[in-house]
Chains A and B, each alone.
Chain A
């Protein structure tokens, strides 16, 4: 743990402001300062309330930690909002990708980082499922973080190989109920959004399908296009192109509203499956001891970023929309996190999946 801490401490002190736009380089340069930062790195302010700490904030670069690879959906969302947020805050935001163990390494690092507002975590739905998936998390999601606000919710699509028999969502339900064991359901790995959605499908329909895990969305989608597996449920970000080209068949989208990029695709609710609703919701977190005044500043900047026309347009391209002004608040976000942890716990336990 001490190493994590050391790391996080070093990261909040970039070597030179000029490197700020190149997160990897900044990290590299900062690495050489590990010792310096360790020796002199006093933490930020203590508990909430001290406006003094927030007054000058930010006077340094703010690091947004993304628990997944650069170029992936979560990374894209982060970079989209980071720019207008930085502008609003009047500082610089550095995006850093810390991959591994379903996002728990990144979350662990941020939980242990200086609570000074310079280390911020962007995490998705995985924040709420990790406590059920991982028995010995190095952090407690509800206690070690303050929530800043919800960012967006990326819809998921239920898709199949192009020659799969059922033609509509209703037919799919019927088919799956009759042939449950013969139906193969692909996912992008344990704990991935596609895995969670797959669990929810099985829960909602009361069936047990044959799950086929892959190491990432790419290979899973390839087998679906090739007709090797039957079904999958994945984010619009990953499936829209293939659906539009007719390489795979789409049955429904799992959000309350239809998505703009796939207007003909009904929602699961329209198909009579109210229980089958899931979106990859994203939110920003800071370490629990971060002063409230700084959290408020970040939250206010998030609201401004989510109203940015460019952000709205780009998210629409991904089939998503920014969270509402009410949802982009610490309270709404905390409520979502609590209810989602409770929602997923029994589903994951019943499915008997555990990462350790």
Chain B
């Protein structure tokens, strides 16, 4: 069979000592930058790109790819331990992961993230190997109207992210949408809400926003109390999953993997959308929705699996069509070009050893990651016993340096401070930052796809209902909306949203 031959070639390529070594270096680096708040994989890959010039093309790509999916792994660690998501998709993990850590269950939370990620990474890689070409063709069926409808569905389905009042959640989504409009308008070039600051032309930096709203706000809240004792953790109960935990994460991991595999192929915010949607789905299907936001292990297992599966299938359009769907993929495309490989649909035929070697290395890399991360859990959990008066300045320093390093833009550091204070005020008002982040990520996509659809259709709005895929997505969105508002399901919704008294 073809596929076996291809995989054989892939493993043959990936199993050379040098490629194994660089796969390991890649994932270890990825884990490290994922753990360090602020420094994301994009900056790291950009930083390391020049030193890979001297490598064989396949070795170079194996390492760079390893940094990317390794960072997806590592990003969850700080999200769980100190409520500091280093990556957009890890923001969802922070919701329940950090609550688990506060209850002394950091170990099981980290183990869940690692195991879920490994399973999802394996499935994602397999999907990449088996269905790369058909998946890429399916991705081409998605034009601007389809993406618009998908984002609408994502937004409506994710209202469940909030564990407090619906009204406040909606307000936060709208605030996020507004913050997302800051920057130069793609279509006219007009700067919006930039107040004459050239630094704002590119929009607000996601990392600065997330670090401020989650990490710094959390620190401010912790500092209200007595900081001489550790405010982070009561008592570390156990490091490993119980039988009951295993039973509870099975479903979420499977569903998250499926969602992530599919959504990862989409350009823009595929893996972020996957995490958000997975969280909403878990909350809906759970028998204990009231536990979400308070340390539900399902809320860690689902989104973590989703974003790692998506991290693998993000490579599909790049490898099969030569199209980069995200900034990171654009960087890897640059790596192809620098290596003298013309990226495009022919790469998979002309350089089979490269493409299949890379795919095989991803599975090996995922194995390295789980072997690397499981023994580290104990160490990470120990970190929480550091007195808070030492821990919190270190967190803020690392976060600031990390965020600064991405664009070397002092403005991003001011943004952290601004959003830290905003986040603290929002906490005091009983508003949660997660829906804001969702609005911030999806808002610009919503606007872009809407306007692009209408430009291409020459202003005809029926394009959203005359294209079948778009119509189906909109109907699903309508269904989700009806379920959320219908009086007959009102009771269930109350549990989902758990209205405040």
A218-B324 CB under 8 A given contacts A75-B334, A190-B184, A355-B184: yes
Q: A190-B184, A240-B342, A355-B191 are in contact. Are A218 and B325 (CB under 8 A)?
A: yes
B residues near A100, Cβ cutoff 8 Å? 198-199, 201-202, 407, 409
Chain B 174-201, CB-CB to A under 8 Å as 1, else 0, gives: 0000000000101111110000101101
The listed residue (A7, A101, A245) touching B408 by CB distance below 8 A is A7
Q: Mark A252-294 against chain B: 1 for CB-CB distance below 8 A, else 0.
A: 0000000001000000000000000000000000000000000
Q: Which of A7, A96, A226, A240 contacts B344 (CB under 8 A)?
A: A240
Binary B-proximity of A309-347 (CB < 8 A = 1, otherwise 0): 000001001100000000000000000000000000000
B482 contacts partner chain A, Cβ-Cβ < 8 Å: no
A279 to chain B, nearest CB (A): 18
Nearest residue (CB) in B for A138 is B198
**Nearest B residue (CB) for A352:** B188
Number of A-B contacts (CB under 8 A): 175
Q: B408 and A222: CB pair below 8 A?
A: no
- B338 interfacial by beta-carbon distance below 8 Å: yes
Question: Considering only CB atoms, which chain B residue lies closest to A211 in the complex?
Answer: B455
Chain B neighbourhood of A71, CB < 8 A = 46, 49, 330-335, 337-338
Question: Is B327 part of the contact surface with A, judged by Cβ < 8 Å?
Answer: yes
Please name all residues of chain B whose beta carbon is closer than 8 Å to the beta carbon of A24 when the two chains form the complex: 43-44, 46-47, 405
- List A contacts of B190 (CB < 8 A): 354-356
Residues facing B in A1-51 (CB within 8 A) are 3, 7, 21-25, 27-28, 31
With A240-B342, A245-B346, A247-B345 as given contacts, are A101 and B143 in contact (CB-CB < 8 Å)? Answer: no
Whether A105 pairs with B267 at a CB distance below 8 angstroms is: no
Contact A226 B331 (CB under 8 A): no
Are A214 and B186 in touch, CB under 8 angstroms?
yes
Interface residues on chain B, number (Cβ under 8 Å): 65
Complex contacts, A314 vs chain B, CB 8 Å: 340
Q: Could you tell me the distance between the alpha carbons of A302 and B250 in the complex, rounded to whole angstroms?
A: 60
Q: Which of B50, B141, B331 contacts A95 (CB 8 A)?
A: B50
Closest Cβ of chain B to A290, distance in Å, is 22
Of B321, B323, B334, B448, which one neighbours A76 at CB under 8 angstroms? Answer: B334
The reply to whether the CB of B329 lies closer than 8 angstroms to some CB of chain A is yes
Complex contacts, A221 vs chain B, CB 8 Å: 323
Contacts of B140 in A (CB 8 A): 222, 225-226
A172 at the interface (CB under 8 A from B): no
Question: In whole angstroms, what is the CA distance A216 to B333 when docked?
Answer: 13
B316 interface hit (Cβ, 8 Å): no
Known: A71-B337, A99-B407, A314-B340. A210 touches B347 (CB 8 A): no
Q: In angstroms, how far is the closest chain B Cβ from the Cβ of A196?
A: 13
Q: List residues of A (39-80) whose CB comes within 8 Å of B's CBs.
A: 69-73, 75-76, 79
Q: Are B187 and A213 in contact (CB under 8 A)?
A: yes
Given the contacts A22-B47, A191-B189, A101 and B342 also touching, CB distance less than 8 Å: no
Does any Cβ of B come within 8 Å of A215's Cβ?
Answer: yes
What residues of chain B lie closer than 8 Å to A202, measured between beta carbons?
none
Q: Give the chain A neighbours of B343 by CB distance below 8 A.
A: 241
Residues of A near B345 (CB, < 8 A) are 241-242, 245, 247
B494 → A minimal CB distance (Å): 40
Shortest CB distance A92–B (Å): 12
The contact string, 1 if C-beta is below 8 Å from chain A, for chain B 282-325, is 00000000000000000000000000000000000100011111
Q: Which B residues are in CB contact (< 8 Å) with A91?
A: none
Contacts of B317 in A (CB 8 A): 222
A28 to B332 CA separation, bound complex (whole angstroms): 23
Contact (A212, B47) CB under 8 Å given A70-B331, A222-B323, A356-B190: no
Please, which residue of chain A has its CB at the minimum distance from the CB of B43? A24
Q: In chain A between 216 and 250, which residues have their CB closer than 8 angstroms to a CB of chain B?
A: 216, 218-219, 221-223, 225-226, 228-229, 237, 240-242, 244-245, 247
- Interchain nearest-CB distance for B63 vs A (Å): 14
Contact A218 B189 (CB under 8 A): no
Whether a CB of chain A sits under 8 angstroms from the CB of B383 is no
Q: CA A222 – CA B143 in complex, angstroms? A: 9
Give bound CA distance, A353 to B458, whole Å: 20
Q: When the two chains form the complex, which single residue of A23, A101, A214, A245 contacts B198, counting CB atoms closer than 8 Å? A: A101
Query: Counting CB contacts under 8 A, is B51 at the interface?
Result: yes
The total of chain A residues at the interface (CB under 8 A) is 67
Residues of A within 8 A of B327 (CB): 69
Given A22-B47, A79-B338, A99-B202, A241-B267 contact (CB < 8 Å): no
| Chain B residues, CB < 8 A from A223 | 143-144
B410 interface residue, CB < 8 Å from A? yes
Residues of chain A within 8 A of B268, CB atoms compared = 219
CB contacts (< 8 Å) of B246 on chain A: these are none
Q: Which residue of B lies closest to A190 (CB)?
A: B189
The one of B143, B196, B401, B407 that contacts A228, using a Cβ cutoff of 8 Å: B143
Check B168 for interface membership: any CB of A closer than 8 A: no
A281 to chain B, nearest CB (A): 19
A356 contact set on B, CB distance < 8 A: 189-191
Q: Which residues of chain B come closer than 8 Å to A240, judged between CB atoms?
A: 342, 344
- Contact between A101 and B184, CB atoms less than 8 A apart: yes
Query: Residue on B with the closest CB to A356?
Result: B191
Q: Is the CB of A70 within 8 A of B49?
A: yes
Residues of A within 8 A of B191 (CB): 355-356
Least CB separation from B401: chain A residue: A28
A112 adjacent to chain B (CB < 8 Å)? no
Nearest CB of chain A from residue B499's CB, rounded to whole Å: 39
- B456 touches A (CB below 8 Å): yes
Say yes or no: A101-B344 contact (C-beta < 8 A), given A79-B53, A226-B140, A354-B189: no
Residue A160 is within 8 A (CB to CB) of chain B in the complex: no
- A101-B201, A210-B458, A225-B140 known; A70 vs B334 contact (CB < 8 Å): yes
> B337–A31 contact, CB under 8 A?
no
CA distance A101 to B47 in the complex (A): 21
- Give complex CA distance A95, B408 in Å: 14
A133 interface hit (Cβ, 8 Å): yes
Which of B46, B322, B456 touches A212 (beta carbons < 8 Å)?
A: B456
Asked if B248 is an interface residue, CB under 8 A from chain A, the answer is no
Check B189–A133 contact: CB distance below 8 A. yes
- Nearest-CB distance from B439 to chain A (Å)? 18
Indicate whether B493 reaches chain A with its CB closer than 8 angstroms. no
The proximity string for B residues 257-275 relative to A, scoring 1 for CB distances below 8 Å and 0 otherwise, is 0000000000110000000
Query: Which B126-164 residues sit within 8 Å CB-CB of chain A?
Result: 139-144
In chain A, what residue has the closest Cβ to B196? A136
Contact across chains for A215 and B334 when beta carbons are under 8 A apart: no
A98 within 8 A of B: yes
**Residues of B at under 8 Å CB distance from A?**
43-51, 53, 139-144, 184, 186-191, 196, 198-199, 201-202, 267-268, 317, 321-325, 327, 329-335, 337-338, 340, 342-347, 401, 404-405, 407-410, 448, 452, 455-456, 458
Q: List 7 A-B contacts (CB under 8 A).
A: A31-B401, A100-B407, A214-B452, A215-B448, A353-B189, A354-B190, A356-B191
Instruction: Given contact pairs A69-B327, A100-B407, A210-B455, enumerate 8 new A-B contacts (beta carbons under 8 Å).
Output: A28-B401, A76-B334, A101-B184, A240-B344, A241-B346, A242-B322, A245-B322, A317-B337
Q: Which residues of A contact B (CB under 8 A)?
A: 3, 7, 21-25, 27-28, 31, 69-73, 75-76, 79, 95-101, 104-105, 108, 133, 136, 138, 182, 184, 189-191, 210-216, 218-219, 221-223, 225-226, 228-229, 237, 240-242, 244-245, 247, 261, 314, 317-318, 353-356
3 tightest CB-CB pairs across the interface, nearest first? A71-B334, A241-B344, A190-B189
